Amino acid sequence: MDILHFDAHTHAQFPAYDADRDAVMRRARDAGLAIVNVGSELESSKKAVALAHAYEDGVYACIGRHPIHAVPSAFHDANELSHTSDEENMPFDYAAYRELAKDPRVVAIGECGLDYFRLEENREETEKKQEELFRAQIELAHEVGKPLMIHCRSAFPETIRILEEMKDKLNGGNPGIIHFFTGKKAHAEQLLELGFSFTFGGLITYVQDYDKIIRLLPIDRIMSETDAPYVPPVPHRGERNEPVWAIEAERRLAALKEVPEEEMARRIVANAKRVFQLQ
């Protein structure tokens, strides 16, 4: 497959695509778009790996446990899970994820990190469990030599603190990606210093909150994503998002970086190949 575009963070293995997954995948591949399907717990991580093997060329997997699954929660996303995850009641199964990480189609560990947006009761205990889970996955990424896929929502100072404290466990000049970046300029500068890259998706096609930060970021630290089935871009708002629409985010990134769309696409693919260690 000749890779022309890249969706660095999507979830085509989620139940949201059970009815038409092959059509969704074919649209992406017909556009020359490579994708990384990202797991949020063990079952969806295994499904991401299976999907990568089903399509192989241009389809990859990222395996991990999302911070919202650090503790049992009343919130379960129907797009994500077709069941209530029993994993929330158990410690992080480091050995199971390490075994899954050996698969050559697995290119990153995550999505992992911190999410303080939807904390219910027992906030202090939830924060503690999320931090323990995050630290375990940083250790795993270091052990297997693969980059991190970091989810951070309403917790940038805490996320950066943990990354600074575990700096010796970050992989050289390529520690990973801050997916769906929504932090401030100071956060971006700190994460750049640590070596991270950043993905942007549909949100930047209809809000201008991150335009200045994107203009300041080096072009070799930027990638496009969808986070599909969530956050569809203009002109698809209100629809279920899908990987091929990463091209809309790519177009907006090109405008903000003041480069031709073809050049932005080429740079994003090169960045993704470097970060995910693709041939």
Mean pLDDT is lowest, of 118-122, 150-154, 204-208, 256-260, for 118-122
Q: What is the separation of C-alpha 160 from the centre of its chain, rounded to a whole number of angstroms?
A: 17
* pLDDT for position 122: 83
Q: Which two tokens stand for residue 73?
A: 């929660």
Residue identified by tokens 């991580």 is 45
Query: What digits encode the pLDDT tens for the residues 32-79?
Result: 999 999 999 999 999 999 999 999 899 999 999 999 999 987 677 888
DSSP 240-255: PP-GGGHHHHHHHHHH
Predicted confidence band of residue 82 (pLDDT cuts 50, 70, 90): low
* pLDDT for position 56: 82
Within 8 A by CB and 6+ apart from 34, the residues are: 1, 3, 5, 6, 7, 58, 59, 60, 269, 272
CATH number at residue 71: 3.20.20.140
Which range marks the domain in which residue 71 is found? 5-275
* pLDDT for position 173: 87
Q: CA–CA separation, 52 vs 54, rounded Å? A: 5
Q: CA–CA separation, 14 vs 263, rounded Å? A: 32
Asked if residue 238 has pLDDT above 90, the reply is yes
Query: What digits encode the pLDDT tens for the residues 110-131?
Result: 999 999 997 867 889 999 999 9
| CB-based burial label for 63 (10 Å; 0-12, 13-18, 19+) | buried
* pLDDT for position 114: 98
Q: Which two tokens stand for residue 92?
A: 């992080």
* pLDDT for position 85: 62
Predicted confidence band of residue 98 (pLDDT cuts 50, 70, 90): very high
Share of the chain above pLDDT 70, in %: 98
* pLDDT for position 84: 52
Total number of domains constituting the chain: 1
Nearest C-alpha neighbor of 227 from the set 66, 74, 29: 66
Mean pLDDT is lowest, of 29-33, 121-125, 241-245, for 121-125
| Average of per-residue pLDDT values in the chain | 95
* SS3 assignment, position 172: coil
